[in-house]
Structure 1
Amino acid sequence: MADRQVGVGPWPGGPQRWPDDPRYDPELLAAGDRRNVDDRYRYWTVEAIVADLDTRRHPLHVAVENFAHDMNIGSVVRTANAFAVAEVHIVGRRRWNRRGAMVTDRYVHLRHHEDVAGLLDWARHAGLPVVGIDNVPGSVPIEGRALPRELVMLFGQESAGLSAAARQACAEILHISQYGSTRSINAGAAAAVAMHSWMLEHAEPA
């Protein structure tokens, strides 16, 4: 059985039937839109999609420490796009592996901080608490925990977790309860679980 094609082909009827709407991209109308976007955004320009998302982003910020070009950052960005978070903050190295983002970084607001101190300074001026997500001694289960509506969730790297500077900076550190033999779950998966926990508490039905 042939694989199902994603997206849509050229706009039916040709250029004479194209919609008179500046949000639509003439190149996509002519060639079709096979991007990984929700159907409501078919044929829209990237700029139009971002502008629409900006009208309904959630007051949740996500930050990721980046010291070893962790491939999970792309996965975190993709999930942040799915949940329409306010911004994704990259702490540490400016460059990161974007493959896992599957081009969703085009629709997310990204902000870079040289180090944890820079993130903390930004969060302080924005009036946002920084909550770490890591299974370290003293951390509290995220399940059933009341999360602030406006906050920064800070994630560490795969295997190493949050740096010592990050742990000291957090207002509190939460962990995702586990029941198997592994010490930790994938960092990208942990970010998805934590963001969804916030959505269950604060987001309206999609």
Structure 2
Amino acid sequence: MNIARFVCFLLLACAALAVADIVQITDENFDTLVKKSDEWVLEFFGTNCGACRAFQPKFEAVERIMSSHGRPTQFGTIDYSQNPGLSARFFVSRIPTVVHIKDHQVRPVTARMPDMIVKFLENEEWRDVKPSSGLLSPYSLFGTLVGYIGKATKWLTQTSPWGMVGLLTGLLIAVVGLSWKVGGNVREEVTRTPEDRDPAVSSTTTASPALPQEKARKRRSKRND
């Protein structure tokens, strides 16, 4: 047991001397960097989060250990407040939040000690964890839609008041114009006569008065005969 701890300590010490290769993931580059076939470990953090600052050295140590072991696992960090699209898409409710991604399957990483996270990755213990599925999957249609809503929310909060006034005015004009056009079509349909809608009705109506005259002419012809 003591030997195992000593070996783990040496690995952590060696890892501390290396430079962590952690990618900054954003709303814009996520879909480009995180491919389906890749294995990723992502951390959602906040710049003003004390727990995040305490966890950061541990997360970097895990990356250095995995890299020294020649593992292809990639590591990335996501600023929670600066990337609301991803934060909403992954349904992040607390930070730091760590997730494991493989084949577009997302699983939570609950361990916080470096040796436990390394064990979780190297022994592929993540296979025993149920991935987010259905609507809660970040790769589902609903998860993608929630991500777009998160982006839109950020854009709206950064828009100036005058910009918001212009946007709302434009939307109002568009809605009123569409309503007027639809209402005009309805009014035109209501005011149209049956003859306007079906020309055959008009021809039948016009020809119908001649029918009694034709019958009377046939009767007179029979009497004369």
| Band the TM-score falls in, shorter-chain normalisation | under 0.3
TM-score of the superposed pair, with normalisation by structure 2: 0.26
Q: What is the TM-score of this pair, normalised by structure 1?
A: 0.27
By percentage of residues, which structure has more strand? 1
